A and B are shown apart, each in its own frame.
Chain A
């Protein structure tokens, strides 16, 4: 036994001084107690996350739980690290705001400084009660990720995408989604993207296992803006969409869950599930997501402390603003969005003075915010690429540009808006909005490939084919080797009755991406229109190899074969097409025609 005596003295000393020093030197503050003063705050503002099975690392459900973390609690409430809530208070209120009032914050700090006294049992309010299991009751459909991800114990944060293949046979309307992201302690946030065209499946090397990547984009073929922000962060209570705002899910749709995971120091098994709640009421109100962004302006020199990026977009229609979702990566510093109303008054839509990617979130307004036509929405994001930004991924700092990797930067602001006060006779107001936004992006960055591409797609959808062709041409000029751009231009040319001109673009698309289903399909179509049926058959066959269950390709393949006089082969393909989709019109019609030619 040989501990130095010194340690004994230390123990004696500190045990006589054990109670913490009183809070204020200026006269004794009244004694706060846990049971009377603190429990109501903790039960209301902390216990939702700090309980078993939830995101926080320990429970805060009773005196001894709180006492065991008392000093740390004083620190984190004082610094406003807890409860996690980034925006400054503002006039336009958010729903489910977690920020503590100054009074509650001071009460907690004072209580800890006074020695964290328990108080009289009679003062203790009843313990909070929580719904066990699914928050909204048993979902109508529960989907579990096919294969779990084993999160390694160390390393940087991981971004993983799980694909849920929907087993529904007909269109369903979803009024609520509960995301159970797996072990909540290791999932920082998660959000669902709707993938109507299986675009993500190609990225899985092991089917069912998902794929890595922080920012994923899903191309959609029709104008069908995914209008819902399906987001999970710690403490999220599932959100039931207002009447008439259900989300449409069709047979064959995939849901992609994008998760941000933080290593814990030991291996963790992450296997999310999601619960869907259906409604019989199809959507009657169609909100949409407006994306303001300016990634092309992100070219941040090393050492730059306050790099400002802005974007200002003026609304062409009246909208109700429902929710807002700002997004930047590790250099993001001060994040702001403001509305300037037609009469010149300004209101802050959101202000996050100290951005922290780890606590990013979708913020829903307590009440929809009416933004009349002519309102300008302005984003102002600043970035710190100096050594003084401790989150800087580069040491020493490097030049950073916009991009999808976590070490690239982003400047995005998503707004969920619902067009209001419009005349339906003038067409879908979402299209008006989307076209205005696409035009705005082209004007802002004339060298932006995507801006031209999106504007082209929008014009094409609105039936303005000539204008669409011009935008696609501009896009292809900017990126002559881009598969998507070439395919779109080719398809638009076919649609405009110029199949001969389309061929070289569609071939360019296939050169860039040999397994591009759409380009094979379109090229087959263009060749058939020029009576090159052998060439068409080859393309449709290639398309069919990529998507063997596609009835339309089967029908077209049959038609090309029939044109070549190969009736038996043609019949087989028409029949298969009808097997896949009994309503396939081309197959039906052609099969009838075959019968008439050869009535046997």
Chain B
């Protein structure tokens, strides 16, 4: 409420405030009912893993079984969210996609890329792992299964997401790499 008022009252500040005004909603990720959700508030002190997906991205799709496996395995140690950054995706379309792939994870839309920016991710599928203090400790690919868009290994040889969750849950483990870009679809293409 207050924000809306602020917005209207501040017209004289011109473009800058218009942007800020947009931001007030921009930093909200939304659930599929359109309510603003803070994925960290619900984490009850556990590390948070954000998994960025695009519905129209085949590599995103093929990772579904991997994502399910890892999120099941670490269900007690971290909180997982699926995040859809394409603002043209309707909640119904996302709901259908989530059901088709058989996900049982909570879902967020991130139409203004607030979470994208917070997480520094650039591609789908990529993940961001935040430790208990909400520090971003890793962003990037899940593993090295894909070499490029037309070639995948028979099986991955590195496991960045697992390593990051382990690091986030262990007391003081450091990661070799805090950021490894993934293979898939650019998030900036849907800005």
Contact = CB atoms under 8 A, between A and B. Distances in A.
Given A1-B38, A57-B56, A153-B64, A81 B150 contact: yes
A390 B147 contact: yes
B26 to A, nearest CB: 6
Contact of B151 (A3, A68, A75, A391): A391
A11, A12, A153, A185 pick with most chain B CB within 10 angstroms: A11
A185 B56 CA distance: 12
Contacts of A395: 154-155, 157
Given A2-B41, A156-B154, A75 B27 contact: no
Contacts of A72: 149, 185-186, 189
B58 interface: yes
A82 B179 CA distance: 28
A265 B148 contact: no
Contacts of A25: none
Contacts of A14: 117
A69 interface: yes
B65 interface: yes
Contacts of A10: 117-118
B62 A263 contact: yes
Contacts of A238: none
B149 to A, nearest CB: 5
B61 A265 contact: yes
Given A8-B23, A58-B56, A71-B186, A18 B151 contact: no
A422 interface: no
B106 interface: no
Given A69-B185, A265-B62, A81 B149 contact: yes
Interface string A320-359: 0000000000100000000000000000000000001011
A265 B112 CA distance: 27
B153 A153 contact: no
Contacts of A185: 58
B188 interface: yes
Contacts of A393: 154
A265 B149 contact: no
Majority SS at the chain A contact face: loop
Contacts of A76: 149
B150 A265 contact: no
Contacts of A7: 27, 114, 117-118
Contact of A15 (B19, B150, B157, B189): B19
B102 interface: yes
B105 interface: no
A265 B190 contact: no
Interface in A1-27: 1-4, 7-8, 10-12, 14-15, 18
Interface in B124-156: 147-151, 153-155
B26 A11 contact: yes
A3 B154 contact: no
A15 B188 CA distance: 12
Contacts of A12: 19, 23
Contacts of A156: 154
B73 interface: no
B8 interface: no
Contacts of A8: 20, 23, 27
Given A58-B56, A391-B154, A266 B149 contact: no
B81 interface: no
A4 B114 CA distance: 11
A471 B148 CA distance: 49
Contacts of B58: 57, 185, 264
A75 B101 CA distance: 27
A358 B29 CA distance: 38
Contacts of A11: 19, 23, 26-27, 112-114, 117
Given A11-B26, A81-B148, A69 B117 contact: no
A462 interface: no
B33 interface: no
Nearest to A330: B154
A202 interface: no
B41, B60, B189, B190 pick with most chain A CB within 10 angstroms: B189
Nearest to A75: B149
A12 B26 CA distance: 11
Contacts of A70: 189
A264 B62 contact: yes
A84 B64 CA distance: 25
Interface string B92-105: 00000000111000
B150 A266 contact: no
Contact of B27 (A3, A358, A390): A3
B154 A266 contact: no
B101 A266 contact: yes
Nearest to A395: B157
B117 A266 contact: no
Interface in B23-69: 23, 26-27, 38, 40-41, 56-58, 60-66
Nearest to A357: B151
A2 B65 contact: no
Interface in A355-385: 356, 358-359
Contacts of B64: 153-154, 265-266
A57 B113 CA distance: 23
Contact of A265 (B19, B41, B63, B186): B63
A68 B26 CA distance: 20
A390 B153 contact: yes
A69 B23 CA distance: 25
A264 B100 CA distance: 11
A359 to B, nearest CB: 7
A57 B97 CA distance: 14
A56 to B, nearest CB: 9
A79 interface: yes
A2, A68, A75, A156 pick with most chain B CB within 10 angstroms: A68
A67 interface: yes
Interface string A390-401: 111101000000
User: Which 5 pairs of residues, A with B, have the shortest CB-CB distance?
Assistant: A265-B64, A154-B65, A265-B61, A57-B58, A58-B56
Interface of B: 19-20, 23, 26-27, 38, 40-41, 56-58, 60-66, 86, 88, 100-102, 112-114, 117-118, 147-151, 153-155, 157, 185-186, 188-191
16 contacts: A3-B118, A8-B20, A57-B61, A67-B189, A68-B88, A69-B189, A81-B148, A81-B149, A84-B150, A154-B66, A265-B63, A265-B65, A356-B150, A390-B147, A390-B151, A391-B154
Given A69-B185, A69-B189, A359-B150, 17 more contacts: A2-B38, A3-B118, A4-B118, A7-B114, A10-B118, A14-B117, A57-B58, A58-B56, A67-B189, A72-B149, A154-B66, A185-B58, A264-B62, A266-B64, A266-B100, A392-B154, A393-B154
Interface of A: 1-4, 7-8, 10-12, 14-15, 18, 57-58, 67-72, 75-76, 79, 81, 84, 153-154, 156, 185, 263-266, 330, 356, 358-359, 390-393, 395
